[in-house]
Copies of this chain bind each other. A is one copy, B any other.
Amino acid sequence: MKEVTVRAPATVSNVVCGFDCLGFAIDEPFDEVTVRRRDEPGIAIVHKDEFGLPTDPRENVAGVAVEAMLAEAGADFGVEIEIEKAIKPGSGIGSSGASSCGAVVATNWLLEEQFPAVKLIEFAMEGERLASGARHADNVAPCILGGFVLVRSIDPIDVVRLDFPPLFATIIHPQIEVKTAEARAVLPDLVPLRSAVRNWSNLGALVAALEKGDYELIGRSLVDEIVEPARRGLIPQFDEAKAAGLAAGAIGGGISGSGPSIFMLSKTRERAEIVRAAMAEAYEQTGIPFNTYVSEIGQQGASLR
């Protein structure tokens, strides 16, 4: 039986001043997605984890992504998609995107790599549409390409992979649910032009700082007066956890995706571990259970195991 297994990494989107257009992939956690070719058409979903996600392919993010892909390829075969998630659903670190991306990268191998990366992003976005009601690429683009990716446009897809210096992410994932719909609803429809200008000045500087490897400028640019003020109330003890991370020597950070995870960036793994300890200590006061992760921001996106 022809099959392949792909590791698809967790991703941090928005990245403070890059709301809806910037994201990066971390080395771990990652989902493992195995896709097996079947002679009969159609898609079967098999879960190897305890998250109880849908097995109906039309209700599963990997299912809809692969369905779009097989249709466009005019494939005369079907697939079984076996998903072993390590990225908890609803964590705000690209869980749905990882499953979709793992599945499309694996299926593309079955299709003899006929689709370029930009098409894989497009297919994976079908999963994002199912998960959140909106097509967006700021998780799936870095999950496919690895590293830091800026999404200039999704229609048509226009993404640019940024250069960046060694960076390590510390992530704290409070075990609470922040509904994407709620996180969208708290955002204003209109924003002051002055705030928008400050935001794009910061994003422009962040992109330049990543390209140049200027850690200090990365830190100064990680400022957001539009989205973070609207959303931080959804995450208990957000300000304290962020302050603890910064005090422990992180370069900067903020809400990961639409939350509830909080990320911090550091120059070294050692520093990222110190930041983890400081944030964990701050967060223990909430009484809310949480997970933490420390990972390098990797160069590699979803890829064959």
Asked if B187 contacts A190 (CB within 8 A), the reply is: no
Q: In the complex, what residues of B have CB within 8 A of residue A226's CB?
A: 193, 196
Q: Is A132 an interface residue (CB 8 A)?
A: no
Asked if A18 contacts B151 (CB within 8 A), the reply is: no
Q: A19-B197, A188-B193, A192-B189 are in contact. Are A208 and B162 (CB under 8 A)?
A: yes
Asked if A208 contacts B160 (CB within 8 A), the reply is: yes
A-B contact pairs, 22 of them (CB 8 A): A19-B197, A20-B201, A21-B197, A21-B201, A22-B204, A150-B205, A151-B201, A152-B204, A152-B220, A153-B201, A153-B220, A158-B220, A160-B208, A160-B209, A160-B212, A189-B192, A189-B193, A191-B196, A196-B196, A203-B203, A204-B207, A211-B212
5 residue pairs, one from A and one from B, having the closest CB atoms: A152-B205, A200-B200, A21-B201, A196-B196, A190-B190
Complex CA–CA separation, A211 to B212 (angstroms): 9
Residue of B nearest to A187 (CB): B193
Q: Is A60 an interface residue (CB 8 A)?
A: no
Complex CA–CA separation, A189 to B190 (angstroms): 10
Q: Is A199 an interface residue (CB 8 A)?
A: yes
- Smallest Cβ distance from A120 to chain B, in angstroms? 20
Asked if B202 contacts A203 (CB within 8 A), the reply is: no
Complex CA–CA separation, A209 to B211 (angstroms): 10
Residues from 9 to 36 in A contacting B, C-beta threshold 8 Å: 17-22
Q: In the complex, what residues of B have CB within 8 A of residue A100's CB?
A: none
Complex CA–CA separation, A158 to B207 (angstroms): 15
Q: Is A221 an interface residue (CB 8 A)?
A: yes
Interface size class, chain A = 35 or more
Residue of B nearest to A190 (CB): B190
Asked if A221 contacts B190 (CB within 8 A), the reply is: no
Q: Could you say which of B17, B150, B200 contacts A208, with CB atoms under 8 Å apart?
A: B150
Asked if B160 contacts A205 (CB within 8 A), the reply is: yes
Complex CA–CA separation, A158 to B190 (angstroms): 27
- 19 A-B pairs besides A152-B201, A203-B203, A211-B211 with CB distance below 8 A are A19-B200, A20-B197, A21-B200, A152-B202, A152-B205, A152-B220, A153-B198, A153-B220, A160-B205, A160-B209, A160-B212, A160-B214, A189-B193, A190-B190, A190-B191, A193-B226, A200-B200, A207-B207, A208-B211
Q: Is A217 an interface residue (CB 8 A)?
A: yes
- Smallest Cβ distance from A18 to chain B, in angstroms? 7
Asked if B196 contacts A150 (CB within 8 A), the reply is: no
- Smallest Cβ distance from A52 to chain B, in angstroms? 34
Residues from 269 to 287 in A contacting B, C-beta threshold 8 Å: none
Q: In the complex, what residues of B have CB within 8 A of residue A221's CB?
A: 152
Q: In the complex, what residues of B have CB within 8 A of residue A196's CB?
A: 191, 196, 199-200, 226
Q: In the complex, what residues of B have CB within 8 A of residue A208's CB?
A: 150, 160, 162, 207, 211
Q: Which of A152, A163, A200 has the most CB of B within 10 A?
A: A200
Residue of B nearest to A148 (CB): B208
